[in-house]
Structure formats: structure tokens, C-alpha cells
Structure 1
Amino acid sequence: MPAVPRPPLIARLLPGLFAIFASVAAQAAAPAPSFDPRQTFAPLTLPTPVNRYRSANGAPGPDYWQNRADYQINARLDTQTQQLSADETITYTNNSPDTLQGLWLQIEQNIYKPGSRSSFASGWRRKPDQVTDGYQFDKVEVEYQGKRYAAQTVISDSRMQVRLAEPLPGKGSKLELHIVYHYEFPGTFGGRTAWLDTPNGRIYDVAQWYPRMAVYDDVRGWDTQPYLGSEFYLEYGDFDYRVTVPSDMVVAGAGELVNPGEVLSSEQQQRLKQARASNQTVMIRTPADVEAAAQSSASGEKTWHFRMKNTRDAVFAASKAFVWDAARINLPDHKTSIAMSFYPVESSGNDKWGRSTEYLKDSVENYSKRWFVYPYPAAINVGGPVGGMEYPGILFDHWKSQGKQLFWITAHEIGHAWFPMIVGSNERRDAWMDEGINTFIDTYESDDFNHGEFAPKRDAEYAPGGGAPADEIEPILEDQDAPPPMLRADAISEKYRHPISYFKAAYGLVLLREQILGPERFDWAFRKYIADWAYKHPTPSDFFRAMDSAGGEDLGWFWRGWFFNNWTLDLAVGGIDHDDKAPDEPVVVHIVNRDQLVLPATVRIDFADGTHRDVRLPVETWLQKKDYALHLPASPAVARVTIDPDHLIPDRDRSNNVYIVGKATK
């Protein structure tokens, strides 16, 4: 396909700005505050202090520690009773310096119980039939130093505390938790874990399906925020899990399939082997295979066995309705992985899910080349009931997505493999650290894919169009009710969740890369941050310090204005000292800062002879003043002065950005 002409990268709009920002554009802007450099450039104290665990350069400190949770799970999906039952062993390692008297686990199926905290926090009530009893525990036991005993537990909403008969010392001590449980699988109302009926069978998207350890870290100790709908904060470890399903079902599981010879036909095994060597998509299970299987009767069960190392989660999907295709992923240093897509027959075709594996493969290869090599044995896209949800190595995307919408959601969701699956930030508290940073990287993937076939990026549900992001973001910056990105994730309402956590944070990083640091400095610092915090738990303070230190810039003014506040920028041409001066005297152009945010800006001087000159004003211009006098030679004569002529920065009032000599100007 021929290359598509593209505007400058900064002018390629981040996802969904149009409709979201239009919804707040009608709000009247409050009068702009007067610029006070003492406030903008005051020393910034970051929330998480520097200590032996977290260094001043934004990297883990010399004594950084992190606990570990390894999982062995044997699960069974009963499609007759719609129940999932399992026995689970968690090997928990306490690497902290602290002795633990008890442990906390997340039990997120309890979100469906009547009266769960989430229904009150979100203001949304499920219908009376959209509830379950949540987790039902048949057994919870602790094994420590050769002794095994029934644990004392306390369940509080979506958390469970296990009180230990013998405390668990720090610095590497281990114990095992043995849990036997079951729960009723939520129906189509399940959100991130749900099922969908298709003509060839039911599709199950299975997430949050096992009790899992809460994080104990050096910042808060146990981080036990209840599950209210925001995403996750999890420990790393190895997963070894088995899923037993009816024999006619296919399981798409995160990680590596350990027993293909027991669950796949010889023809499917051969096709899978072919796909691992192919840059083109290979069909493993065709629509014809699915329809033939739907007409036959099968009995018995099969157990699918998966392993995944050094990950924070593992999920799976199961259905007899799955079409399955795959292709090789080419990684740096001659490494490979495999991209796979599972979807119903109704989603077949290149205008629908037939290109899913192509999109997935390209995205993983791009992110691996740009930022950090993809670590997982497979990248999987599942077309089912869940629309747009990410897990390590596997995505749940809606079966009706197609075309550019499917590309955008695929590129975005697999981007989460880097944030927060590799760089393990706390999504429950700091949504922008995964959603915003990921939106930033997937914008570049949209630009790169197939010479810009789907560029510039838009979200599927929003109509394309509009201006540069610098202009489109203004309504949200001027909205007096809009929160800053640093607000706790659960406290950001749905109205502002995408505009703030995704788009404002992402556009802030575009500004940082393209207008403040430049790609050469930004990319080096950003890659270092990823490598330093791979499979660890950074805070916002660590990210800010990392970009300051490795980027070679004190960015406190930017973090304060963009992430801690919702400040706006308003630069104006205050006038020209020109007409009353002698012909050979210098011309003085006054650039005025009228608002609290500062950014580097370009001032373009157009001369009467048709030439022009660009002057770059760094943020240091405003350290001590509100009005900058730009001196220009008397000749050639100045005809026009324009601030930010290419609309690369978000200026609140562009009507005062242009001054035309001899013409009345606001």
C-alpha cells in the first residue's frame, strides 16, 4: 500500500481527544490567573522520598527489595453449572526487611456480591440478577517450616487477610498458601471476566479468576486498596496452571502451552510449527474447522497446561467457537515470539479479525525495537465479550471490532505489555503511569504501521477530524472541574478518566519528547527508565526523577504544571516598539506570559521582504519576568509576529498570538 502523507508527529492527535474535549468545550473558561514565576519555578517536593530503596536518579536504590508470589493452579470450568473451581498453591517469598504477622490477598470476584464497595464508589448499581456470591472458599491453609494448618481468615469486600500462627520473617523467608475455592462465573454483565454466546458456542473470557497476593512494598507496606473498577497492582512470580474444559473447547492461555500433544490434533500441531517460522499469518483452526466441530458431538474433558515466568498475572479464554491463527514475531538479537489471534467465525475476514495477528505482530516488533524487548513466549489477541482489556501476553478485545478500530485497540492493549506488565506501576493509584504512558507509545505505532495506514490515531468510537492536539486539549485544561493526572485513579470520574489519565498524560509526554527534551535525550532517558524498573514497582516520583536525571533537565516546573495541576499556557504578543523610533534603531517585540504554565515556544518574525526568522524561547525566559523584550535589527522591516506558528504547544488564547504591523490587533 502506498505511503500516506503525514503531518508533523506532534500534530497527530492522541486517541479520542475530539469527542471528549468537545463535551467540555462549551464550558465558560474562568479568567486566567496572572503568571507568577515564583509559583511555577518553586522547588518541587515529590511524594515518594529518596532513600536506600529509591535513588535520587530515579532508579531502584542499593537496598531495593520486592516480595514474590509464585502460583500453581489447577482449575476446571464447568460449562453446565457455569462454575469455575480450582485448587491453588501460592509460594510467597518475603524479601522485605520486615517480619509479617499476616498476609493480604485480592479476591476480586467479590465485586459481584450485593453491596460491594464498587457499586457505591462508582454510583452504578447492577440489576438484581447481575450479582453472584463471589468467591466461595472450601479450604485455606498455611504451610510453613513443615507444618500445615488451617488459616484464620478475615474477608473484607474484595480483600482477604490471612493471619499467621507463626510470623514470616523477612529477607527471603517463604511459606505456602493452599486454597481450594469455586465461584459462579458472571454472565455478560461481568465486565473484565464474562461470557458471550455465538452460533458455534460460548466464549469465556476468564480474568481475576484466582485469589492473588496483594503487594507489600517499601512505600505503604500492604497496599490493600479494594477493587472498585480501577485496575491492578500485583507481585511478580512464575505461573504454572492447568485448565480443564470440555474436550471440544480450545483454550487461549497466557504463556507457553506445555502439552500441545495432549490437546491439539497432529494437523494443528503442524500448522502451529509452520506459524512459528512464518512472517505471514497461518491458520491453525479455520472457520470450516469450527463449523465442522460445532456439528459433531464430543464427550469428556481435556486439560490445557500453561507456564509463564516472571509475570504479574495470567488469564485465559476458552471456547469451541474459536478460529485460531498465528505468525512469528521477530525480535532484536535474533529472538522470536509468536503472535496469535482467537475469534469467532463471525469475526473472520481481513476487514474484521483476519488482520489481528498482523497488527499484533507489528506492534510487538515496533515496541521491542523502540523501547524494550518483548519478554513473553506469545502475544495473544482474543475476540470475545470483553472490549479492550490487557494482561501479560494476552488481550481481551471485542469480537465486533474491525478495521482501524481493531488496529488501534490492538496496538494500545499490547502496549500495556510494557506498561504496566513489564514496568509494574500501581494502576489502582496512578492510572496515568500505565494508560498515559501506553497511549504515548501506541501513538507512534499508529504512525509507523504500514506507512501510516491508520495514522493519525483515533479511538474507535470517536469520529476523526479536528485540529492539532495543542488546540484540542485546551478545553480540558480550562475546565475548572478537571482533576490533575496525579489524583488517585478511583477518584477520577468516568467523564475525566480518558481525557486526563490517557490523553493529557500522553500528550504531556509528547510535549516532553518533542518540545522540551527532544527525541535524542528523551528516548535515551525513557529506555533507561524502562530497563531500570523492568519487573519492579516504580512510583510517579521515580519516573519524574528518572527523566530529570537521565534527560539532563530540571523538569520540576513541568511536572508541577502538567501532572500535579491543570494549569494553562497563554503567551501573547504585547506590542512592538517600532513606529516611534528612528529608522536605524532596533525593533523591540514584547512577548508576554499571561498564565501559570510555561513551555518552550517558537516566535516567528515575518519580514516585509518575504523572509522570516524563528526565535526559540526556552522556559528560562520566564524565571524572573512576565514580559520579554525581543530585540530585532531595524532592517528588514518587521511585518508580522506569530507565537507558536505551527500550533505545537497548547496556548489558551491564540487570538493574541499574532501581531500584524499596521493592523489593529487584539
Structure 2
Amino acid sequence: MRVTKLNTLFGAFCLLLSAANIQAQTTPDSIQYDHQELFGPINWPTTGSDLRSASGQPGPKYWQNRADYEIHAKLNELSQDTTITGDVTISYTNNSPDKLDYLWLQLDQNLFKPDSRGAATTPISGDRFDVRGFSRGGYHIGSVTVTYKKQTYTVIPVITDARMQVRLKTPMDGDGDKIQVKVNYDFSIPFYGADRMGRKKFKQGIVYEIAQWYPRMCVYDDVEGWNTLPYMGLGEFYCDYGNFDYYITAPANMTVVGSGDLQNSSDVLSKEQQKRFEEAHKSDKTVSIIKPEEVGLPATHPFKGDLTWHFKMENSRDVSWAASTAFIWDGAKVNLPSGRKCISMSAYPIESAGNDAWGRSTEYLKNSIEIYSKKYFEYPWNSAVNVSGVALGMEYPGIIFCLSNLKTRGLWGDITHEIGHNWFPMIVGSNERKFMWMDEGFNTFINEYSTEMFNHGEYYDSTARTAPRLARAMQRMTDPLMTPPEAMGLRDYGMYYNKTALGLNMLRNVVLGHDRFDYAFNEYIKHWAFKHPQPYDFFRAMNDATGEDLNWFFKPWFFTTWSLDQGVSSVKYIKDKPENGALITLINKDKMAMPVDMVVTQANGKSETLHMPVNIWQRGGGTWTFKYPSTSAITSIVIDPDMQLPDVDRKNNTWKK
């Protein structure tokens, strides 16, 4: 009995071995796929702990520091230059368990110094984020004072490129200890601020878009300690959360708009403007606060000298503002899922006006906020404003900058993208300086759905197919998505946007389905809102909430430049008769793998879609044969009929009799 059983098992093993040999023998030499590379175990650099759980959520002992700001700044239009002079008082809370011997601050304006690292690494041909030769750029730091445990003293800071170290006389304690740093500073406003800020002249005045305009804290976190990568142009920002109380003094004939809530509208607006401002808060239709024909009239700005505009914004990671004598200004109410209301606004010169242009800006902004709030996470602040000026497109909490000459589809796309950044990374506070795909890519992904939903798909192209176009571009990639922005090839950085978005679409549409993906993605947003997720937190969050080990996807998509090439290798009928069923052999030639969706059509007219899970590629050499219950001859098989995947050779996706 025992011997017979062993013989049976041995015979079964021989049959399995024989089948495996047949599979191996049919593997073409051109296959680069290696299942061990793709499905082998992955040990992420960070493991689950009390700070960051293995489920991809903040752990029970998760902490992050806090920075609250009070800022006073003045815009000075001088005959030779326009400058910002100001002071910032930072109240910093160290929630870490660590003592801090020094603090690090970001001096982003130092990018525009002629000898900055960003200037030194700008290609001779120039690029979108370069310094453009601004000789007067950079901060001038007047003084730095520290107040700690009721003692105030002056510090001589150590400035290295776009960072400033403040060395403390007494180490700062952790676990909620507080310290205060005050910095007096000034800088000249660059004409072209790396496509993120600057100044641009219009008929009725200069539009100043002011960002990276005050010394601010670097982030001290549980992963890197002090995050001190310098600002060099392409890599954006990483900031802690806190409350902002800021005052902007500007010539009285200017309109100032900014992040957060205007606190003193009665001091800076005429009675008619105050009335319109309140009306805009209650109207679903766009209301003019300053009309085109009112720009430049004495009655529009009935004040003399300088005027101070006071704004507040709570639980934000940054603030920005804009000022001009040329602004048309309008607004409309935003309806949020909870029933709360806020306001969307636009400020733009006459050159941008028109119903095919910025006359619809507030409508675009309002609808984008409403869509993202309903689908992902409710917009947490009370206002948002879009400013027309020099920047092609740039985002800050509660304020965005879009290029002045955009119209129709181009303007919609820019607005819904830039305000989408208020979800990634302004709400979900990832480290843009190191992981650009976590904000640009996630945002590009949600933009697709806002465009589909806006005004019955006014600007949505249902025939657009991103994957085939991107497949060609991906073959030219030299750097994977996990490459930091300053090391990414300038021809490749667009992949942060498009490849990441395509990857999320592939997970949603091909791997997981809409319900499972949406649930997991929203769980990730909910748990990391106003916190600092790392890439590995996202990977774990998606694995845990979907119930799938998706590391086979995360590894090649984010850490490599591998390609995908799947096809139909052969079709054979059992005993050469179609009515007995067909043996269909699929092939996975390149190093990536994906599930296989295919449409099989028979001569009798029957057509059906089959879904093969990615697990068919877990073992073996890149081929998979399965039995299809055909009842007549198969006339065609088409893999990925909806063109969801970036297959580099679509010719072998189709088999015909």
C-alpha cells in the first residue's frame, strides 16, 4: 500500500516534470522575462514599527514636528528694483523624542544667487526651472534671534547655499518642547522665479506672484532626521504643518490676494467691493469683485500710500500671495460634501479676460474643488484663488498660479492640475524634494477624473489612449521614478506625472477593479492627511487595504525602467479539431508582467473577454498555455483590447487565423 502510493506520487511528479520541460523547450530565446526578478521577495528599506505600521498607516507613536509662522512683509516698488522686506517669527514645536542641538531653515530664494548650486547645474541651453541669470537674487539675512526657555539671544547663522543652520546655545528638548526663531530678511523679486514665482508686466501694471518668500523650517522626521536637500529648481518642497498669520504691505493702488482668509476686508476694500465679496461667498455663479472697466480707476483703490492686507491660514504647510494694479477679481461659492461653504476666486489682467479664457477661471476652480472634495477628501480651507501671471503652473495651499495666455481646454487642464496639488502634497504631505512622483503623479491621476466629470465631459476625450504613446516614451527612459528630481534626466521628468498616473490606472482598471482600488486609495489619503507618508507607506497601504501583494508591480514600475511585451504565441486544437477545445499559448517577452485581458472570437460569431491573473507568470520561463473551450475555429485573439497597458510591441497582441 505504502509502496504503491509512493510510486503513484513519483509517476505524477515525472508527468509534471515532463510538462515543465515541454514548457521550457517552447520558450523562445528572445524572452528576457525572469519570474524570480519580478516575484522574488522584497525587503523595503523601512520596516513596520510603532511609528509607521506594516499596514501602511501611521503607527501609535507616530510624530511630526510643527511650525507656526507670523510674517510681516512689504512689497517695495523702487526705481531700480522691486524688493520684499520682512520678518518672520517661527514658533517651532519638537514633537520628536530627540534633543536638537541646531535647527535647519530653508532659504529658497538663494536659488537665484548667481553662485547657487541650482545655477551651477542649469544646462547651458537652459530649461524650464533655471535661474535665467538674475544677478540680484537671494536672501539678505539681517538678523536671527532665538528665544528658548524665556531667554533671547542673537545667532550668527551658517548659510550653505539654500539652507541656514541655527546653532543653539542650549539643546532643544523633545516631546513637545517649543522654541522661537525670528529672522529679518529682504530679497529682490526675480523676473522669472524658476517657473514658480516672479513678475510679469501687463498693460495696467506688473503682476507679482510671490512664493518661497520667507525663511521656513526644514522638516525633521523619523526617516531622515533633518531633510536638508537644497532647492535647485526642479525638486519642489517638503514642509511641516502649522498656522500662518501674515501681513502684506503694498502700494495702496494694488489688489493683494493670498492663501487663507482675508482678515481685514473693511480696511482694504471699498464698500462696494466688500458687498460684492460677500455676494461671491453666496453665489454659485461667478461674481465680479473688481470689474474689467474698474481696473486702474481711483475709486477702485480709494486709499493713499501703502496698505496692509492681513491673512490667516490654519493647518497648512505653506502660504503664498500675489499683488498687482492690473487685477480683475471675481469669485464664486464652493459647495463641500459636509455642507460647509468656501470661496473660489480668480485675479487676472485684462489680457487674460474673456469667456474663452480667464472669465471661466473661477468656474473651473470651483468645480475642481467640488469634484476632488466629493471623490477623495474634503477641501479643508475656506478659500482658493487662481492668479494669472508669469508661472506656467504652480501650486501652493489655497492659491495657484497659471500662465496668463491660456484658454479653454489648456486653462481648464492647468487649473484642475494645480488646484489638485492641494490634495497631493498639501493635504497628503509627501516629500516632493525626494519623491516627485508622489505628488505630480498622484495629482495627474486624479485630474483625469475631474476632467471626465466636469460639465458633462466638456474637455474629456474618451478616445485618448495614454498607454500606447507612453510605451514608446518609456523605452527611452534612463532613470526610474524613484530617482530624486535633481538627478532625473530633464527629458524624463515628465514621467513623474504620466508614468505614475498610468500605473495607478493600470492598478484600478486591470489589476484590482474600481471598487477595491478606490477604497484602498481613499484609505491611504484619509490616514496620511496632514502627515508625511513615505513611498513604502503607500505600497503597504495599498497591499493591506486591497488584500493583494502588489510588490510585483511596485518594484518594476517605480524602481526600474523595465518594459512590458505580452503576446499570443500559438493556437492549437486538441486532436486538430476546434470543437475539442484549443490550447492557447501566451508569451511574456520583456521583464515586466501584467494580467492578461483578451478577446477571443470564433468563426461561429461567439466573442468573449477572458481575464488571466498575473499569477500565470509566477513560475516558468515566460510562456503560459491554457485550454479554451472552443466550439468552432478561433478567428482572432486580441490582448489588451482597450489599450490599457504600455505594451512595447502591439503587433504580437493580435493573433488571426
Taking structure 2 as the reference length, what is the TM-score of the superposition?
0.92
* Structure 1 position 165 matched with structure 2 position 161: no
Alignment of 1:69-88 (within 5 A): 69-80=67-78, 81-88=81-88
Listed as ranges, the gaps of 5+ residues in structure 2 are 1-28
* Structure 1 position 109 matched with structure 2 position 109: yes
Alignment of 1:320-359 (within 5 A): 320-359=325-364
Equivalent AA in structure 1 for residue 612 of structure 2: L
Distance 2:481 2:192 in 1: 31
Distance 1:377 1:203 in 2: 24
Equivalent AA in structure 1 for residue 185 of structure 2: Y
- SS of alignment partner, residue 305 of structure 1: strand
- 2:49 maps to 51
Distance 2:480 2:390 in 1: 32
- 1:478 maps to 475
Equivalent AA in structure 1 for residue 226 of structure 2: W
- 1:653 maps to 649
Deviations 1:464-512 (A, max 9, x none): x9x6222111112222x431111111111221111x1000011100111
Q: 1:195, 1:204 within 8 Å by CA — same for their partners in 2?
A: yes
Deviations 1:107-165 (A, max 9, x none): 01111112100122233577896222511111100001111000131000000000000
- 1:142 maps to 146
- 2:611 maps to 616
Residue 320 of structure 1 and its aligned partner are, at CA, apart by 1.3
- 1:16 maps to none
Task: State, as a whole percentage, how many aligned pairs show the same letter.
Answer: 44
Task: Give the direction of change, closer, same or farther, for the CA distance of 1:294–1:409 in structure 2 (3 Å limit).
Answer: farther
Task: Give the direction of change, closer, same or farther, for the CA distance of 1:223–1:33 in structure 2 (3 Å limit).
Answer: farther
Distance 2:74 2:189 in 1: 12
Residue 319 of structure 1 and its aligned partner are, at CA, apart by 0.7
- SS of alignment partner, residue 497 of structure 1: coil
Residue 572 of structure 1 and its aligned partner are, at CA, apart by 1.8
* Structure 1 position 469 matched with structure 2 position 492: no
Listed as ranges, the gaps of 5+ residues in structure 1 are 1-30, 458-464, 662-666
- SS of alignment partner, residue 491 of structure 2: helix
Distance 2:309 2:85 in 1: 15
Residue 610 of structure 1 and its aligned partner are, at CA, apart by 1.0
Q: 2:73, 2:84 within 8 Å by CA — same for their partners in 1?
A: yes
Residue 578 of structure 1 and its aligned partner are, at CA, apart by 2.5
Question: Residue 594 of structure 2 is aligned with which of 599, 602, 605?
Answer: 599
Distance 1:221 1:119 in 2: 27
- SS of alignment partner, residue 434 of structure 1: helix
Distance 2:587 2:390 in 1: 53
Residue 72 of structure 1 and its aligned partner are, at CA, apart by 0.3
Distance 1:392 1:536 in 2: 15
Q: 1:201, 1:294 within 8 Å by CA — same for their partners in 2?
A: no
Distance 1:33 1:161 in 2: 53
Structure 1 segments, 4+ long, off by >6 Å, are: 125-128, 294-298
Deviates more, 1:313-322 or 1:32-41: 32-41
Question: Residue 290 of structure 2 is aligned with which of 285, 288, 298?
Answer: 285
Q: 1:257, 1:305 within 8 Å by CA — same for their partners in 2?
A: yes
Equivalent AA in structure 1 for residue 306 of structure 2: E
Equivalent AA in structure 2 for residue 166 of structure 1: T
Distance 2:222 2:472 in 1: 38
- SS of alignment partner, residue 418 of structure 1: coil
Distance 1:50 1:648 in 2: 33
Task: Give the direction of change, closer, same or farther, for the CA distance of 1:101–1:591 in structure 2 (3 Å limit).
Answer: same
Q: 1:571, 1:594 within 8 Å by CA — same for their partners in 2?
A: yes
Distance 2:478 2:450 in 1: 29
Q: 1:131, 1:186 within 8 Å by CA — same for their partners in 2?
A: no
Question: Residue 524 of structure 1 is aligned with which of 516, 519, 523?
Answer: 519
- 1:510 maps to 505
Equivalent AA in structure 2 for residue 360 of structure 1: L
Equivalent AA in structure 2 for residue 186 of structure 1: P
Deviations 1:266-320 (A, max 9, x none): 1001001111110000000001110424999963111000000000000100011
- SS of alignment partner, residue 122 of structure 1: coil
Deviations 1:435-468 (A, max 9, x none): 00000001111111111111139xxxxxxx9x62
* Structure 1 position 556 matched with structure 2 position 554: no
Equivalent AA in structure 2 for residue 633 of structure 1: P
Distance 1:384 1:572 in 2: 49
Equivalent AA in structure 2 for residue 84 of structure 1: I
Distance 2:409 2:655 in 1: 41
Q: 1:110, 1:133 within 8 Å by CA — same for their partners in 2?
A: yes
Distance 1:594 1:192 in 2: 43
Q: 2:159, 2:165 within 8 Å by CA — same for their partners in 1?
A: yes
Deviates more, 1:361-370 or 1:559-568: 559-568
Task: Give the direction of change, closer, same or farther, for the CA distance of 1:519–1:128 in structure 2 (3 Å limit).
Answer: closer
Deviations 1:331-351 (A, max 9, x none): 012111100000001211111
* Structure 1 position 264 matched with structure 2 position 288: no
Question: Residue 65 of structure 1 is aligned with which of 63, 66, 72?
Answer: 63
Residue 247 of structure 1 and its aligned partner are, at CA, apart by 0.8
Deviations 1:207-233 (A, max 9, x none): 010000000000010000011111000
* Structure 1 position 367 matched with structure 2 position 363: no
- SS of alignment partner, residue 121 of structure 2: helix
Equivalent AA in structure 1 for residue 93 of structure 2: T
Task: Give the direction of change, closer, same or farther, for the CA distance of 1:511–1:128 in structure 2 (3 Å limit).
Answer: closer
- 2:191 maps to 187
Alignment of 1:385-396 (within 5 A): 385-396=390-401
Q: 1:604, 1:645 within 8 Å by CA — same for their partners in 2?
A: yes
Distance 1:98 1:183 in 2: 34
Alignment of 1:108-127 (within 5 A): 108-124=108-124
Q: 1:359, 1:407 within 8 Å by CA — same for their partners in 2?
A: yes
Alignment of 1:560-571 (within 5 A): 560-571=555-566
Q: 1:200, 1:294 within 8 Å by CA — same for their partners in 2?
A: no
Q: 1:294, 1:320 within 8 Å by CA — same for their partners in 2?
A: no
Distance 2:489 2:31 in 1: 26
- 2:626 maps to 630
Distance 1:562 1:349 in 2: 42
**Greater Rg over alpha carbons, structure:** 2
- 1:28 maps to none
Distance 2:578 2:57 in 1: 57
**What's the Cα RMSD here?**
1.9
Residue 187 of structure 1 and its aligned partner are, at CA, apart by 2.2
